[in-house]
Amino acid sequence: MRINSQPQSLNFSPRMVDKYHMIYKDRITGDHSAASPSILKGPQFTARLLQLGDQLPPAVSGENFKYRRILIPAMLGGEIQFALLGFLAQSLRMRGAEVTGLLCDQFLPACTVRKVDHYECACTRWCYKNIGSFVRAIGLPHRWYSEFVTSEEVETCLSQAVKVSGPDLLHYEWHGLPLGEHIDVSVESHFKVGYFDLDNPEMVSVGQKFLASAMLLILIGERALEQLRIDKVVVEDGRKTDWGILRHVALRRGIPVDILESGARGQSVVLEHHKPGQPYLRMPEWSTWKEQPLQDRQRRDLEQYFMQRITRPYAGSSLCSWTKTFDREEFYRRLNIPEQASGVRFGLFPNQSHEFGLIATQHIFQSPRVWASRTIDFFRRYSEHLLVIKVHPSEMGGRVMDPLISFLDEQRSSLPRNVRIIPSDSPLTAHEVIQALDICMVYTSTVAVEAAYWGKPVILVGGGTHSRRGITIDTCSEQHYFDLLQEICQTRVPPPPIRDIAERYAYSFFFRSTLPYTQFRVHDVNVTEVLLQSWEDLLPGRDPVTDLLCRGILMDEGARLEYWPDRFLPSMKN
């Protein structure tokens, strides 16, 4: 059964109920048809960059920084990525650092911004099309990939890569660096699927192109680091070839690598020092933060934030605009669930298909389809218990090539009566579904944090960021997973939640570990506004977030804000 309804809160603490009902009422009666914000794309974004000034103010620095020559590789022509890394580069330069961007000039045989379903190559559609005008507009020193390798070396890498068979792609090493894990997740990203099918000739062919790209990136990285005498690299996180290979090259040469990646909170970033590609782990400070009880102010801020996520789970996204609701009785009627169910209510929350291999640190199931299918088969034997599968909203509009919802729709006629499917285009948010459940099964996603915060026990299947943090029940094998389900079904008693630790973890994950964007606003994949008036806004002492990021990179200092004042949250006020 598929549903498109929404639950009212079932398990809020008493002090939260009134707040929830106020939001709930607004969502029934409010106007959600506001026009989308204007966006700065390509030439418009370039023009806005030019307005910031044709040259930087003189560098201001009286400190003896630990690092001076900074490389930012794999800069793309996407406005959001360039706003983040480009403004950071300017901020570092204004503190006396020598910063160089390393750019792709349609050079690699394969890269992960080129997707199989795109009507036009990303190079000519937005990436290479934009990046040259962006770097020239801000006057950023830069080099191109093709400057560091010869045409003969390109042919050699291509001819060598096509000789590697499918299974060997996953274990291939070159110049002493393991490339297989990068090839695997790059192919999955390219095809937007959850696994690399080694029997698929098209996938193997693309995998060979990624292997050639990885070889070339090793040569490019080694030569760029040596010629520019780089002493630190700042790069986006990722195991894919575009970022992971260059990180490996730098670390092998003893050059530290800082990772700047998007934070879980809307319009935020996380800066980590010398972070390895695996295991996928944020917040090295968690062992300390875990022992620190939250202050009343922190608890109130966290509560307010979670109340906000009920209706706006994706800050700065149009996915927030179509949320609607029904009352609790309507929700249960549509799911055909008695309000006083005799069994346990389980929820299964898969990731996007192509994130299955990218984010997970263990692979108990090959794909979301396999996980869902085998879990459904398990619940055939326990018909008194309910299984609700909440398909990831990113599948809406055909954004993935291996959609779980298509598979589930094919199985509709044979689904057990105790299984409910919530499709990707349902207006239900994960928060609302969580309220109706007794226990949540999560692969790796942020739903694990949300469910634990709301007092729900969480079985974590794919490891990843939230494993081994004390807030989830971590499975280690398929047998272990089903043994846990069987025990719960037979005893009818879900494991107890760990609310106190979950609350501390949620605050650390959404607040302590992230820094807000303070220089631009985003909506979906677009920059909607540049908040800088001129490059002088990036000078030392003008903005604490910029100062923290720069000192973190130049001095290896921790880049954390203990508290996010309201003035740092322009996007969250909308």
> At CA 9, angle to CA 331 and CA 385, rounded to 5?
60
Count of the separate structural domains present in the chain: 2
Domain that holds residue 374: 14-22+289-512
**Residue 563 sits in the same domain as residue 506:** no
**Residue 522 sits in the same domain as residue 451:** no
Q: What is the pLDDT of residue 2?
A: 36
**Residue 164 sits in the same domain as residue 88:** yes
pLDDT digits (tens, 9 = 90+) for 171-215: 999 999 999 889 988 998 888 887 888 999 999 999 999 999 999
pTM, entire model: 0.85
**Residue 498 sits in the same domain as residue 519:** no
**Residue 520 sits in the same domain as residue 505:** no
Look at residue 155 and tell me if it is in a domain.
yes
**Residue 492 sits in the same domain as residue 534:** no
Average model confidence (pLDDT) across the chain = 83
pLDDT digits (tens, 9 = 90+) for 358-392: 566 777 887 788 899 999 999 999 999 999 999 88
Look at residue 42 and tell me if it is in a domain.
no
**Residue 309 sits in the same domain as residue 267:** no
Distance of alpha carbon 134 from alpha carbon 136, whole angstroms? 5
**Residue 462 sits in the same domain as residue 363:** yes
**Residue 175 sits in the same domain as residue 308:** no
Q: What is the pLDDT of residue 120?
A: 84
Look at residue 224 and tell me if it is in a domain.
yes
Q: What is the pLDDT of residue 435?
A: 83
Q: What is the pLDDT of residue 6?
A: 30
Determine contact, residues 177/215, Cβ cutoff 8 Å.
no
Q: Widest CA span of the chain, in angstroms? A: 72
226-230, long-range: CB within 8 Å, 24+ apart, which pairs?
A: 227/148, 228/69, 228/71, 228/100, 228/143, 229/69, 230/69, 230/70, 230/71, 230/100, 230/255
**Residue 175 sits in the same domain as residue 211:** yes
What is the rounded average pLDDT of the residues 280-293?
A: 82
Look at residue 44 and tell me if it is in a domain.
no
Look at residue 30 and tell me if it is in a domain.
no
What is the rounded average pLDDT of the residues 433-457?
A: 91
pLDDT digits (tens, 9 = 90+) for 100-128: 999 999 989 999 888 887 778 889 899 99
- Nearest CA to 416 among 461, 385, 459? 385
